[in-house]
A = this chain, B = another copy of it.
Amino acid sequence: MKKLGTQTIRFERPPSILETASIVGPKEAEGPLAKYFDKCLEDEFWGEKSWEKAESKIIKETVYSVIKKSNIPISAIDYCFAGDLLNQCISSSFGLRDSNFPFIGIFGACSTFVEGMGLGSVFIDGGAANNIICAASSHFCSAEKQFRFPLELGNQRPQSSQWTVTGAGSAIISANGNGPFVTHFTPGKIVDMGIKDSNNMGAAMAPAALDTLLAHFIDTGRNPSYYDAIITGDLGHVGKEILIELAETKGYNIKSNYNDCGVLIFDKKAQDTHAGGSGCACCGTVFSGYLFNMLKTKKYKKILLMATGALMNSTSTQQGESIPGIAHAVSIEL
């Protein structure tokens, strides 16, 4: 592999995305992408006693599902990169504690899925591995409980707030296979423009998305029209509009081929999800379900997948801090 410009890695033997899997909750099952997911749960508990245990089960079953779908033996998995939104990433570590492959925990908030795909691709192109699993999960109920208010309180949500996706996405990235291929990885910088409203994550993360987008275009010499689709992770309706405007001020018109997983996963009007989906599983499930299908069926041949993350917690908000954002991008091409 080779570093281009300030922050992009170009893979010389681009790793192939062998297979993906996704499991989502009941709300996502009523959304416009339902048919693309492998499994839609009927309730938020899936037979477990807590939302946290349910989230662990979701990521576990998603990881086992992608291995099964790929038809490669579990012993052929070299390493697993996974993470989630729960404190100390317990969804991933409890969910995957019985797996028998080495585990590399990552935290990029809602950018975790793409961070894992990028790191996995570095391992494969570098010769450290043949098959890598990357996975990420989130859960509406465990996230609300942890970051905002008890669900039982029935709190009102402002229109700029987003709905954490319940689910998990997982992909196997491999030295073998016929694509789609991960051709570039642009890890992002932390960008904090001073937004303090934790009910407006889209606005907090959009400047980080812009920063990574610009770096990717400058490093690779590409422009927006190179891609069939530029897809952010969870800027939602508010952040999407901000990113379009910010990109325009920098001379990049992304209006025609840009969308966001948080916009795609819910029907805003019918589902009352306000500014759209969010969470590690937002990008994870929309890629593993919908986007991977679009690539396999050649409806998209080149996409830039850029997952966004808000690097805060409830203590930082209580201490008056603003919300740093980050965005990691991978180019995926046939």
- A234 touches B (CB below 8 Å): no
B90, A313: Cβ atoms closer than 8 Å: yes
B100, A189: Cβ atoms closer than 8 Å: yes
Closest-CB distance, A298 to chain B (whole angstroms): 29
The residue that A311 contacts in the complex, of B88, B101, B319, with Cβ under 8 A, is: B88
A93, B311: Cβ atoms closer than 8 Å: yes
The residue that A126 contacts in the complex, of B52, B78, B85, B126, with Cβ under 8 A, is: B126
- A241 touches B (CB below 8 Å): no
B189, A102: Cβ atoms closer than 8 Å: yes
A103, B326: Cβ atoms closer than 8 Å: yes
Selecting from A107-115, A164-172, A266-274, the interface stretch reads A107-115
- A96 touches B (CB below 8 Å): yes
- A190 touches B (CB below 8 Å): yes
**Cα of A186 to Cα of B90 in the assembled complex, Å:** 22
A2, B88: Cβ atoms closer than 8 Å: no
The residue that A3 contacts in the complex, of B125, B129, B313, with Cβ under 8 A, is: B129
Which residue on chain B has the smallest CB distance to residue A320? B49
- A178 touches B (CB below 8 Å): no
Per-position contact with B for A104-128: 1 when CB-CB < 8 Å, else 0? Answer: 1111110000010001001101111
- A199 touches B (CB below 8 Å): no
- A315 touches B (CB below 8 Å): yes
- A316 touches B (CB below 8 Å): yes
B103, A187: Cβ atoms closer than 8 Å: yes
A78, B315: Cβ atoms closer than 8 Å: no
CB-CB under 8 A from A119, the residues of chain B are: 104, 119
**Cα of A146 to Cα of B49 in the assembled complex, Å:** 24
- A157 touches B (CB below 8 Å): no
- A87 touches B (CB below 8 Å): yes
**Cα of A233 to Cα of B67 in the assembled complex, Å:** 33
Per-position contact with B for A1-30: 1 when CB-CB < 8 Å, else 0? Answer: 111000101000000000000000000000
User: Which of A2, A83, A100, A102 has most B Cβ within 10 Å?
Assistant: A102
Per-position contact with B for A211-240: 1 when CB-CB < 8 Å, else 0? Answer: 000000000000000000000000000000
- A148 touches B (CB below 8 Å): no
Which residue on chain B has the smallest CB distance to residue A212? B102
CB-CB under 8 A from A52, the residues of chain B are: 315-316, 319
The B-contacting residues of A in range 180-196, CB under 8 angstroms, are 186-192
- A86 touches B (CB below 8 Å): yes
A188, B313: Cβ atoms closer than 8 Å: no
A83, B107: Cβ atoms closer than 8 Å: yes
Known: A3-B128, A315-B90, A324-B97. A105 touches B104 (CB 8 A): no
User: Which of A50, A85, A88, A90 has most B Cβ within 10 Å?
Assistant: A88
B102, A314: Cβ atoms closer than 8 Å: no
- A321 touches B (CB below 8 Å): yes
CB-CB under 8 A from A99, the residues of chain B are: 189-190
Add 10 more A-B contacts to A88-B107, A93-B324, A106-B107 (CB < 8 A). A1-B126, A3-B129, A7-B79, A7-B102, A87-B314, A93-B311, A94-B324, A102-B187, A105-B109, A105-B326
